[in-house]
Structure 1
Amino acid sequence: MSQQVKHDSAVLVHFTLKLEDGSTAESTRANGKPALFRLGDGSLSDALENQLLGLTVGDKRAFTLAPESAFGGKSPDLVQFFSRRDFQETGVPDVGTIMLFSGRDGSEMPGVVREVTEDSITVDFNHPLAGQHIDFDIEVLEIDPQLEEKHADIAG
């Protein structure tokens, strides 16, 4: 068991993500299931990993990340326009609906329906939190490189 979070640590944490308006975007405390992250695997931004480095079990840290250090900025290239005909099989979705779309390589990508008009449907493939400053509140519950095997059922 490691004393401090290092570049390759597995870390079990509780976290809350809040938006600039104070609303909660996500909280592991709310559902009672902590999240497991492994630093260095590419799942976390460098800025977020840097906030975790050096923390010990029981440490709590609150910080804010700018959009480019959290979920990225909004890209207009990720907003796509579809013909209503493209939705003949599924039916025309409502604004706000999150749908899975298949890429040319077979991968699936979620998109949020932003607008439905007579002729087209606008879908936004940006991350829902892209373009926003995010307030993080993190508590380190456990640091243990073997954690993934012991707690695989609660991995975030």
Structure 2
Amino acid sequence: MKGLAVDKGTRVTLNFALKFTDGQVIDTTFDKEPASLEIGDDNLPENFEAYLMGMSAGERGDFEVPPEKGFGQHNPSNVQMFQRSDFSADMVLEPGVMISFADARQSELPGVVSKVEGDQVTVDFNHPLAGRTLIFEVEILDVEPAQPTH
């Protein structure tokens, strides 16, 4: 008998790995505790949940995730220029440094310094995985009905 299939209203325990197409691992649970999540709880982006639908315990899958279904395409308008004076004098500004900004709604918005030239600081607000095709490897360990929330 086949167990419960992954669908809305289920709690899934799984191991996963997110990799670049060259095999470089970005994140994985295969070497630690498995992840447990409720479908639709936003722990996993909806597009990634879609790959799990219909799978049941004991199944494995490898999915190639194009940018549109992953973290979106790289958007040039998400790259902003700032003056060095916009930052505190003691802040280290060099390529790769992540800085947290507050957006118009005061939500946290992370940006990564991509270039520093003289007084110009270029910050990229695209998701670090934007524009990348990813491999989503998954092993479903358990699927059970989600507990109703009171």
| TM-score in terms of structure 1 length | 0.83
State the 1:44 CA deviation: 4.0
Q: Say which structure is richer in strand.
A: 2
Q: 1:116 to 1:68 in 2, by over 3 A?
A: same
Q: Structure 1: which 5+ residue stretches go unaligned?
A: 150-156
CA–CA distance in 2 between the matches of 1:35 and 1:79? 33
| TM-score in terms of structure 2 length | 0.86
Identity rate, percent: 37
Contact in 2 for aligned 1:112/1:125 (Cα 8 Å): yes
Q: 1:78 to 1:37 in 2, by over 3 A?
A: farther
Contact in 1 for aligned 2:113/2:122 (Cα 8 Å): yes
Q: Structure 2: which 5+ residue stretches go unaligned?
A: none
Contact in 2 for aligned 1:84/1:92 (Cα 8 Å): no
State the 1:81 CA deviation: 0.8
Count of residues in Structure 1 that have an aligned counterpart in Structure 2: 147
Q: 1:39 to 1:124 in 2, by over 3 A?
A: same
Q: Say which structure is richer in helix.
A: 1
**Residues 1-156 of structure 1: pairs in structure 2 closer than 5 A:** 3-30=4-31, 32-42=32-42, 44-146=44-146
Secondary structure, counterpart of 1:116 in structure 2: strand
Secondary structure, counterpart of 1:29 in structure 2: coil
State the 1:145 CA deviation: 3.7
CA–CA distance in 2 between the matches of 1:29 and 1:143? 18
Secondary structure, counterpart of 1:50 in structure 2: helix
Secondary structure, counterpart of 2:40 in structure 1: coil
Secondary structure, counterpart of 1:144 in structure 2: strand
Contact in 2 for aligned 1:64/1:136 (Cα 8 Å): yes
Contact in 2 for aligned 1:9/1:144 (Cα 8 Å): yes
